[in-house]
Amino acid sequence: MRGVVFDGERVLVVDDLEVRAPGPGEVLVGVAAAGLCHSDLSVVDGTIPFPSPVVLGHEGAGVVEAVGPGVTHVAPGDHVALSTLANCGACADCDRGRPTMCRKAIGMPGQPFSRGGTPLFQFAANSSFAERTVVKAVQAVRIPEAIPLASAALMGCGVLTGVGAVLNRARVDRGESVVVIGTGGIGLNVLQGARIAGATTIVAVDTNPAKEGPARRFGATHFLTSTDAVREVLPTGADHVFECVGHTALVRAAVDLLDRHGQAILLGMTAPKAEATFLPAAMFLDKSILGCRYGSSRPQKDIALYAELYGAGRLLLDELVTTTYPVEDFARAVADMEQGKVARGVLTF
């Protein structure tokens, strides 16, 4: 079968992948579509250290082909969105409703794939850049068949992370102000999360002026090309500032733009050893800096909610998909993303 493999030095689109059958508590999914996210490329450039060879991809949707023993919530033929959270469901954090903090979901990659007899690692317990993948049952979330699978794929990461950061982590309230630095796939979902939450002033910041149209479509009330102009819109600062780029200077800018009792939420992935600075004295005005893993999400609950909001016309999914590419055009999809031509490019099988 076809897939995208990083061998430690280069990315290859191959057609000789194999994947094992699902075991107890697992699901085999035929992947129809998978979104290309910066996190996939962060494995390639070393920002996210990961063993290789590895099958890339972590934002996908498809159709269940088979289930292992003990799986009852999905069945062959069901349409599913795939999450990256292979959480155990039984530890203290899972029991508290914090599956993103499950220690068994981090740092223990499996090897369900092989190529020419050589095992390949699975990225983010997902590897949706393959025609078929095996995931834990908890990662397969049934969705209505009315949602196009190319759109549904984006719920598995971009929507969970961006909208979830607003609703679950920051808990943005009605009438509050929000600044979103960076309007890529994550930033656009933060914008629509802020709109859904009822924020009244939503400022999008991106150096690319071509991003203004999409930003306003998703919920921005203002668009700026520099953080320097934010104070002209919000003279006393913002209630919430989301950094969606992963640049240390922008982390500092996010903190500096806070009003009293404001929160800076860090979503962009910086280099592992990058350091950011801020003025500690300013934090005594009840300001906070919040990390956020995967939108502090609960995928089985949250994806169902987002599917309902999509059906009601409140959550935009189709509009996130700028271009679809056959998996063989992976290099073109990467180039388009790096040049800022797409909100989200989606690979199809």
Confidence of residue 108 (pLDDT cuts 50, 70, 90): confident
Confidence of residue 331 (pLDDT cuts 50, 70, 90): very high
Q: How far is CA 284 from CA 97, 237, 262, 280, in A?
A: 30, 15, 11, 8
Cβ-based burial of 334 (10 A; exposed 0-12, middle 13-18, buried ≥19): middle
**What's the one-letter identity of residue 235?**
P
* pLDDT 10s digits, 145-177: 999 999 999 999 999 999 999 999 999 999 999
| DSSP string for 227-269 | GGGHHHH-TT-EEEEEE-S--HHHHHHHHHTEEEEEEEEE-S-
Does the pLDDT value for residue 70 go beyond 90?
Answer: yes
pLDDT, position 66 = 98
Pair of tokens at residue 140: 């397969």
Q: Which of 113, 133, 177 is nearest to 26 (CA)?
A: 133
Confidence of residue 269 (pLDDT cuts 50, 70, 90): confident
Share of the chain above pLDDT 70, in %: 100
Phi-psi map region of 291: left, alpha, beta (phi>0 left; psi -120 to 50 alpha): beta
- Contact criterion met (CB below 8 Å) for 153 and 25: no
The three state secondary structure string of 157-173 is CHHHHHHHHHHHHHCCC
pLDDT, position 339 = 86
Does the pLDDT value for residue 203 go beyond 80?
Answer: yes
- Contact criterion met (CB below 8 Å) for 160 and 292: no
What's the chain's average pLDDT? Answer: 95
pLDDT, position 273 = 87
Mean pLDDT, residues 88-105: 90
- Contact criterion met (CB below 8 Å) for 204 and 245: no
Pair of tokens at residue 150: 């190319």
Mean pLDDT, residues 236-245: 97
pLDDT, position 103 = 87
Mean pLDDT, residues 178-206: 97
